[in-house]
Structure formats: structure tokens, C-alpha cells
Structure 1
Amino acid sequence: MTAPAATTVGLTSWRLPAEGAEEAVRHAARLGADGVQLDLGGPGRGPWADDPGTVEAVLRARAEAGVALLGLTANTLNDIGLTAPSRSADGTLARVVVVRLLDAAHAYGVPLVFLPSFRRSAIDTPDDFRRTARILAWAATEANARGLVLANENVLEPERAAHLVEKVGSPGFRLLLDPYNLCVAGRDPVRWVAAVGPYLADQIHLKDGHLRAEGSAALGTGDGRLDDVLAAVAAYGPAPRALVLENDYRDGDTALPLRDLAWARARAARPTPSPAPSHRTEAAV
């Protein structure tokens, strides 16, 4: 079986030398990407993607450039904390941002919304886990009401990641895979995929690097085991709708993104094995 012809290779707006969503769409088009994931923006994160007139401008740019809008996230939640107590100021603000994110995603017509669990949203303690599961369950219900799929990006141990999905308890909830984030956190990304495969979102973040050095490495040249991970996804997860590059391209040099786009397109077109048998016992907690 071959990867679907519609498999998209995209970029993330927050890793491009672009100020705002419209500019990110046009920059992605200039690089030849098929699509782009956008960030909601906010303090220290760039212009809000739902500012007056912005949605219309981005949709116009999308139509003119022929670039798909793949998803929307709110990286500002890493500065606020999904793990904040629900009645605290930060907990209230997190919910306000999530509603704003979901409304913007509905306006943009994206197929996926994802919430990050890093920095102040990192899931480090049992309380963090309970609070994250609670807000994700609420957010999944809100996303479903808007016709959206909700995902969470985290670096939990695979059994804990599977347990999080079960605690959220929504058929419209997924896990967003980023193999290199897992490597940095000391996880085996291939084992992670094997354990949570049925729960994966059909978009995957791809970046690479060297664990003992800073900076991006061209896809496939670092410690991210990306080929092994993509083989595991083909065996255990849904066929990827999009491979989304998250290497850091903010310096404006086009050599790395063009190379990475070619690398990802080659993998998107590679023959894949038949799905593996169910592994529910691995994912059980």
C-alpha cells in the first residue's frame, strides 16, 4: 500500500520568518509548501490571528497562494498553563484562550486544533495530569460542538499518554506526535507510537537535531529516528494527512526548509506496510 496521494507536506507559522498568519501563509507558498499550521498569537507570540480583518486576510491569502490551512494552536498556553487550578486567574485565562482558539479555528475552517503541554503547561505531577485531563475533556466537548478535532501535544510516557486519552474520554480527541520532542524528553518515539498508535492525530510534527547540541538539523540527519518513527506510524497509526515541518527556519535561509520539504515529500510517497495487529494490551494502564 502506498501513502495517500493527498498526504500534505506543510510548515508551522511559528518557525518561519513571518509576522502574523497572513505573512506565514504567503511565506509557506513561496517555499512551495502544501499547507501551514497557524498559531493564535498573543503576548510575545505575534499578532492575534483573530484580530479584526485578519481571518478574512488569511483566507484570501490561502486562496491566492493555494496553501491549505492545516491546523491552529495557541502557543501562548505554554506561558499561561493548562495545569493551573481551574478557579485561579491563570486557569480562567487558559479557558478564555481555548474558547478564543476554537472560535478562530472554526472561522478558519481548519481540520485540527491542538493544545500544547510544555513549559507552564507541562504535565509533571499527578495534579498536573488531573487538571490537564479535566480541561482537555471540556475543550474536546467545545471542539466537537464546532465540528473540530482536538489534539494535545505532550511528552508523557506512552502508557500515561494513553491513559490521558482515556481520561479525556472523547472520540474526537487525539495525540499530536512530535518524535524529536519525545527524544529530548528521554522517550523512545518508536515505542511511544506503538503504544498510542490508534490515538494519534493524522498530522505529525517533524523536526530533527542533535541531543547534545543546539539548533536544527536537516530532517533525517539528527537523533530523531524519523524514518523509524514514520515506519511505526504506518504500522500502528492512522495514515498521515499531513507531515508538518517544525525545524527552525526563522533565519530566512531557504536551503534548510527546501531540503526538508523534499525529504518529507519523499517519505510521504514511500510505500508503507499493512497495519499491525491491535496492541491494546501495550497501551493499557
Structure 2
Amino acid sequence: MLELKTTQEITAMRTTGAFIADLLADLAGMAKPGVNLLDLEHRARHLIEERGAKSCYWDYAPSFGSGPFRNVICLSVNDAVLHGLPFDYVLSDGDLLSMDIAVSIDGWVADSARSIIVGTPRPEDQRLIEATERALEAGIAAARPGNKLGDVSAAIGAVAADYGYLVNTEFGGHGLGRTMHEDPHVPNAGRAGRGLKLRPGLTLALEPWFAQGTDRIVYDPDGWTIRSADGSRTAHSEHTIAVTDGDAQILTLPADR
């Protein structure tokens, strides 16, 4: 069941989103060659505790994972793209790191992800990250009242096609608000003009993720970490947004933007 949010509730989600934006920026600045993924996990835990926020990941046990998840952030490196379980891994120059986090503040959730290159960038990795960011922008631009959910999915998928990337639709965006995962599911490809009609007050997490060479995925033995089936590199970008009477509002931006 869809729950449309009031202006006040969207403002509360924006507060959570601004905290997440600052947290991801903090971790991006910390992610250098020689830094352990567990150091990033512990830093995220400290910032969440300091803010009085609550992790949406800790003890999360969905059907698709080998739960419960006992970390506060997903850290996925190189060919890993989603649900990366932080482990004892030291970042190397050129690693492609995707960071995904959702927290709740005063009962309201926001969810965001970003991919960065650690140290020296590869042009093909920069292009991959750019594709996810442009696809996210296109999805947000399509999230207008009167449009359909399929318009959002189609806009994301069109950017992937322009860049030459295949799209996996098993995992995608979703509704959120009082909890991390609410209806509806938002695939990263679809047919324009189909599906749910968008209405002001609908809050969504849009999250394009692509691999350089495939749309197939495999799971690590940890039961969580999802990788590209061919070992090609991956990237992931995500914002929480609110559908309004006009342009969608991005709720996971720093407070000064």
C-alpha cells in the first residue's frame, strides 16, 4: 500500500537525507589506498551514533540475503555492486568503491548510494560511474505528477542503452518513508506510459546500477554481496526523492544545497 507523505514528513526525510549526504562525503574523503573497509564501517557507525540516528541495515533479514545483516553500510568493490558486506579488505589504488546506506532519524528514513574511484582513476570506470549518475538524473527528471512509474524506469534504461550497458531488473529502486523498503518497486528499465501514476507526496529511492559487461549477477558465499557474473566492474548511484507538484525534490543532498 502506498503512503503519500505530507510536506512536514518530506521535510523530516530531508533532514535524514542531509545527514546521509554528509556521511557519504566523509567516507569518500576517507577512502584512500591503504584504508580497510572495516575502517569505513566503523566510521559510519560512529557518525550514526553521534547523530542519534538508527541504521536501517543492522539486523535486516530480507528473503534475498543471508541475514541478519550485522553492519550499517554496504561497501562493494570493483565487480561487487550491491549489498557488499564490509570485510577485512584493504583498498588499493584504482579500486572502484560503491557505498550504500540507509538510516532513520526521528522515525523517517532516507537512502543513498554513490560510487567513487580510490586513487588513480581508469577512464572506463569514470564512464561507468557517469552513466549511473546520468541515469539517476534522467529518472529524477521523469518523476513528475501525471507521469507513470514506467516513465521513470524507461528514462533510466534509456541512459544505460546510450552508454551501451545492459540492465538487470532483479534489484532496483523502491518506495520508502517510515521504513527502508516500501511499495512500489522501481526497475531500472521499463516501458514508458505503463504502471503506477505518480502523485505528489510519493517518496522513492531511485538507484541505477550497471556492470560494464553483463546484466547477470552472482552471490558471494557471504550470502549478501552481489557481483557481476562476468567479473566486470560495476557502479551504483542512488538518491531519495519526493514527487511534488512540479520537479521532484532530491532529499539526499547536503543541507546547504
TM normalised by structure 2 equals 0.30
Question: Whose relative contact order is higher, 1 or 2, with alpha carbons under 8 Å and at least 6 apart?
Answer: 2
User: Which protein has the bigger strand share?
Assistant: 2
Who wins on radius of gyration, i.e. which is larger?
1
TM normalised by structure 1 equals 0.28
User: Which protein has the bigger helix share?
Assistant: 1
